[in-house]
């Protein structure tokens, strides 16, 4: 396929330019974009409002890529679904469907592996391979949405919280968001899309520059620089004192509430002092604070606090410090729920 154009890598304007370059009618560009990104057609011959001659020409010059599903797991506990996909070059990525009473959320990967190497994350243990192309990002949505539509369901929200650091692949992530949110595509609102980041400042600045009003989720995990650097080496490059003002500016411009993620690791970041610093930090923002009891990860010695300790932290933050706090419910613990676990097992 290397000599053919990958149609899912093109936004509407690029697709139109390509169609015109083939000598086809300009308005076919809009029609083909809709077939690909709204109707999720995966056979050029199914584009019935395109002439047979032009369909044959398009099939000769271009192709529509697929994701190869290697493994699909469904949790017996909460119906969380995990997908392991094989890419054209043989690499693998994960996507996860999270089911809630009022919505269905798709957790999307943005890279093969991850270079950030947070201490608690299974994905980072496998190292970084490469960024995902635009089609490899959008096709996670399309492949799973097609399955859900057959069940009378659909995806309501997207979170870039799968494998990889989205802000280190920000150009492709933004292009994928533009395609997914297009009125001629699946038309999912940018306000229903969340990017989770370890705090890559240039990526956040790029979102502001491009005026992409998505939700931000910040992997905080400590409000003390030294501890955060120990857990998340990226903090040495983008410390809290630099991250703080860009988050304030992001909130000022977008008016969006910022979510802070805080993994609870016993004997590390759950002391009274740790939690007091945490409350002080998040109170500078219109915020949601998600407390995440540590998940077991092969090769890591981190342990979750007792339920009594978790309750104490939650009650202190909610009742005494008036923090908008939740404890994230576990999802998919019986199906390698933590990000990167299924891929790691497949690699082994």
Q: Which residues are tagged catalytic?
A: 94, 339
Distances (CA, A) of 220 to 78, 149, 341: 27, 36, 21
Strands (E), 4-90: 5-6, 62-63, 68-74, 81-86
- Estimate the crossing angle of helix 240-254 against helix 201-210, to 10 degrees: 20
Q: Which helix (H) or strand (E) holds 203?
A: helix 201-210
The token pair that represents 107 in the structure block: 């957790």
**Phi/psi of residue 324, each to 5°?**
-80, 90
- Separation CA 340–CA 294 (nearest Å): 15
- Separation CA 83–CA 95 (nearest Å): 5
CB 230 within 8 A of CB 117: no
SS3 330: coil
Q: Which helix (H) or strand (E) holds 162?
A: none
Contacts of 3 (CB under 8 A, 6+ apart): none
- Estimate the crossing angle of helix 12-21 against helix 28-37, to 10 degrees: 130
């Amino acid at each position: 396929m290397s000599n053919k154009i990958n149609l899912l890598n093109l936004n509407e304007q690029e697709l139109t330019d390509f169609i015109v370059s083939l000598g086809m009618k300009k308005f076919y560009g809009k029609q083909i974009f809709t077939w690909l990104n709204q109707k999720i057609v995966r056979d050029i011959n199914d584009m019935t409002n395109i002439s047979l001659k032009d369909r044959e020409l398009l099939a000769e010059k271009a192709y529509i890529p697929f994701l190869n599903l290697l493994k699909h797991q469904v949790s017996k506990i909460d119906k969380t679904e995990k997908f392991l996909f094989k890419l054209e070059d043989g690499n693998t990525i994960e996507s996860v469907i999270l089911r809630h009473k009022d919505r269905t959320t798709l957790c999307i990967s943005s890279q093969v592996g991850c270079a950030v190497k947070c201490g608690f994350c299974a994905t980072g243990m496998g190292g970084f391979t490469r960024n995902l192309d635009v089609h490899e990002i959008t096709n996670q949505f399309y492949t799973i949405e097609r399955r859900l539509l057959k069940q009378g369901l659909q995806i309501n929200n997207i979170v870039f919280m799968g494998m990889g650091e989205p802000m280190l692949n920000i150009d492709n992530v933004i292009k994928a968001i533009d395609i997914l949110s297009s009125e001629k595509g699946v038309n999912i609102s940018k306000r229903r899309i969340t990017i989770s980041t370890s705090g890559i400042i240039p990526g956040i600045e790029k979102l502001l520059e491009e005026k992409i009003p998505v939700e931000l989720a910040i992997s905080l995990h400590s409000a003390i620089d030294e501890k955060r650097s120990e857990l998340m080496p990226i903090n040495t490059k983008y410390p809290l004192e630099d991250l703080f003002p860009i988050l304030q500016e992001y909130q000022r411009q977008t008016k969006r509430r910022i979510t802070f993620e805080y993994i609870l690791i016993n004997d590390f970041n759950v002391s009274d002092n740790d939690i007091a610093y945490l409350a002080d930090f998040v109170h500078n923002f219109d915020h949601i604070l998600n407390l995440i009891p540590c998940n077991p990860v092969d090769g890591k010695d981190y342990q979750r606090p007792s339920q009594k300790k978790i309750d104490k932290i939650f009650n202190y933050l909610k009742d005494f410090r008036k923090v908008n706090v939740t404890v994230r419910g576990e999802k998919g613990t019986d199906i390698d729920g933590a990000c990167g676990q299924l891929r790691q097992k497949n690699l082994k």
